[in-house]
Structure 1
Amino acid sequence: MILREAQLLELTEKLRASPWVAMDTEADSLHAYPEKVCLIQISHAGGDVLVDPLTGLNLQPLWEALAGRELIMHGCDYDLRLLRRTHGFLPAAVFDTMLAARLLGYKAFGLSDLVEKHLGVRLEKGPQKANWAMRPLPPHMEAYARNDSRYLKPLEVILRAALQERGRLEWHREMCARLVEQSARELAADPDTVWRVKGSGQLDRRGLAVLRAVWHWREHEAVAANRPPFFVFSTEEMVSLAALASTGQSFEHLLPRRFSPARRQRLLQAVNKALHLPPEKCPQLAVRRPTVRMTMAQKRMMNQLQKHRDAQAARLGMDPTLIAPRATLVALATDGEVARQQLMEWQRKILF
């Protein structure tokens, strides 16, 4: 485990000299709020290492050593977004082994599935709900973490060769590039919609005012307690509270007994403030998006596209939704050229 600056600098020299680098991360999304990167697993030509970002290490030398090169990762969309959001880092390119397996038509494409299939190694089931922020990490968690990056390079060699043989390596490059691009331009949450949780559509404007206030109260409490929001108060309970409070009914039976007097008081103050907002300050009801009604010609176009996509997918032995999910087919049938330009080049060549 790399805990000190000197160790990190030594690692960066090895990474610069290595012809390849594989990486994975572990976070604490089930145990803290906001979530953070708790462990960085790195494999290179010289071995496997764990970097502990919770020690206060200056990780800038690590990001500089990794800049401008391709990283081998598995199912990395979450990792990329978290690294960009918490450390401001994104690799120049990735080779995602999960995407490679999907393009090759694999039905089981989890890391353990691929490692067992190609390398004959059965990985132990990992601690899915473990708190990766705990220190020291138990030996079995360290071993599990190392395995997440240890086998990525041999998998990459096998999968890259298979993609090349089947003429799909460029498809994979496009998909990985799109993944990095999307992670780089993650949009900020809309302040008028972020609090409109499932069930909010049943509330009137006063109820929405209460829900908005309770949502912001929960966010504050979650950050202060460093606990995920659902540990503080569930979404269902928020909607029920808003419905009752906005119609003058008692809602205190919904408040968990674990609430401290101070937390309870802050919630009651937030609700009371929302109940006394001037009507014009209450949120507007959500405008329902009109259902897209396709013309008969558009429906015929979509059916033709779907049949063609499914036939191509069967010929290629891959999941049809990789070529185009249903929403994309609808967009192609109703908004042709715009939707077509949003496809990747390999998808366009298959569909048209």
Structure 2
Amino acid sequence: MPTIHYLTTADAIATAAAHFATLPRIGIDLEFDDMRHRYGRHLALIQVFDGTEVYLIDPLPLPDMAADLEPLFAVLRDPAVAKVFHSCKSDILLLDEVFSVNCRTIVDTSVQFTLLAAEDNNISLGRLIQAELGFEVDKGEQKSNWLKRPLTEAQKEYAANDVLYLFELTDRLSARLTELDRADWAAQENLALEAVRYGRDDPRPWSRNAAKYKISAQEMPMFRELFMLRDTVARQLDRPPYHVLSNDRLAELARNPLETALQLRTANGLHPELKRSPYAEQLLAIGTTDLEPDAPLPPEQRKFPFRRRLNGPAAARADAREALLMALKSHLTTDHGSTMANMVLSNRLIADIIELGTEAALRPWQQQLLKGSAEKHGEDYASIEQPF
């Protein structure tokens, strides 16, 4: 294990960041809590590898986390310094959501591995290290409470391992991609990661859970109000919402609401705060009030699937585009294998192409591969290039 620097002050972080700014690349990872031990998403640790030594940057002791981390954030924004991650989307979403920081010049080893088309799913860092470097790293601290201090030595070693092997991995994967003439594919995918942003201001944050639990239109107002009450209590307690009321119990109460004080007192699966004023009264009011259904969303917020907006000849044209794309997916499978076919024409991408065309929906490397299979098998690629 190389030297591990544990940084807890703004001055130490600024000094380290000045060093990172002189390097061609750094390996980086974040540990954060996402509604696991506290309400919301909280940065807990930043790990950086400079090629020789590991820096564990602890943001929790900082008086002003955003301001004191700004020297490091400046490096993340600097396109001259490559940032090597493994499976970085969660990390870059957190940086955008909490700090409005957008990384530049990202190299993601997960993206690189995926483009080798060896497997159809994302590979964990531990599995990638084992596959490429031939040894195992201890992942026992993966579900640690990273907000608890002091960190244990096991946590520090785990955190260091998350960045220690990134350079060796990306170099190996880059060489294999070059041999396959796919280095530019990885460059396109990594460049696209710079545009990933956190989706703010969901007008109906309860809708995803409602769909999962098959909440009916009649049950939806009850589910909505329970969801929002749970969120209010969770925010006040600084606890994850599921500590206040599990998703399963939330769905049960939407179908069988609490209507009396006796029912509330004897109800199981509720955080004690829900049985105290003022939340107890609010919970009973939800169960005994004739609630209004959701108001219609403004037109700009409505997300009706494209195909549901079509009928008659337009629907027939869309069906023809889909049939062609399914045929092309079969050809891609024959030419390049099922893993690559799914990367070029996943179900989501097929839906996007039907509406937007290949030029807008696909990266250039995907367009090139798809066009090559279309020409080889005599299919009309030109008919799906442009928007519907």
Moved more, 143-152 or 120-129: 120-129
Distance 1:313 1:264 in 2: 63
From 23, 34, 42, give the equivalent of 1:36: 42
Note the aligned Cα RMSD (angstroms): 2.9
2:30 aligned residue = 25
**Correspondence for 2:74 among 64, 74, 96:** 64
Equivalences, count? 341
Q: What percent of counterpart residues are identical?
A: 23
TM-score scaled by structure 2? 0.79
Aligned partner letter, 1:320: A
Equivalent residues of 1:215, 1:238 under 8 A apart: yes
| Counterpart selection for 2:349 from 313, 328, 331 | 328
- Mapping 1:1-352, distance limit 5 Å: 1-29=6-34, 30-56=36-62, 57=65, 58-68=68-78, 69-107=81-119, 109-183=123-197, 186-191=198-203, 193-196=204-207, 197=210, 198-199=212-213, 201-204=215-218, 207-245=219-257, 252=264, 253-256=266-269, 258-260=271-273, 263=276, 265-272=278-285, 275-276=288-289, 281-283=292-294, 295=316, 297-298=320-321, 300-314=323-337, 318-332=339-353, 334-335=354-355, 337-338=356-357, 340-352=359-371
Within 2, Cα distance between the matches of 1:236 and 1:189?
A: 25
Amino acid at match of 2:97: R
> In 1, are the aligned partners of 2:257 and 2:287 still within 8 Å (CA)?
no
C-alpha deviation, 1:250, in angstroms: 8.4
1:95 alignment partner, SS class:
strand
- The answer to whether the Cα contact below 8 Å between 1:19 and 1:45 also exists between their aligned partners in 2 is no
Q: For residues 256 and 166 of structure 1, do their structure 2 counterparts lie closer, same or farther at Cα, with a shift above 3 Å needed?
A: same
What's the offset of the Cα at 1:26?
0.6
CA gap of 1:65–1:302, structure 2 versus 1, over 3 A, is closer
Matched letter for residue 104 of structure 2? A
Partner Cα distance (2:109, 2:233) in 1: 39
Per-residue Cα deviation, 1:93-120 (whole angstroms, up to 9, x for no partner): 2100011011112337321222223323
Question: How far apart are 1:85 and its partner, in Å?
Answer: 0.9
> SS state of the match for residue 107, structure 2?
strand
Query: For the structure 1 residues 302 and 46, does the alpha-carbon distance in structure 2 shift closer, same or farther, using more than 3 Å as the test?
Result: closer
Structure 1, unpaired ranges of 5+: none
Alpha carbons 2:249, 2:269 under 8 Å: kept:
no
Distance in 2 separating the partners of 1:115 and 1:83: 26
Find the residue that maps to 2:148 and give its secondary structure.
Answer: coil
* CA drift at 1:37: 1.0
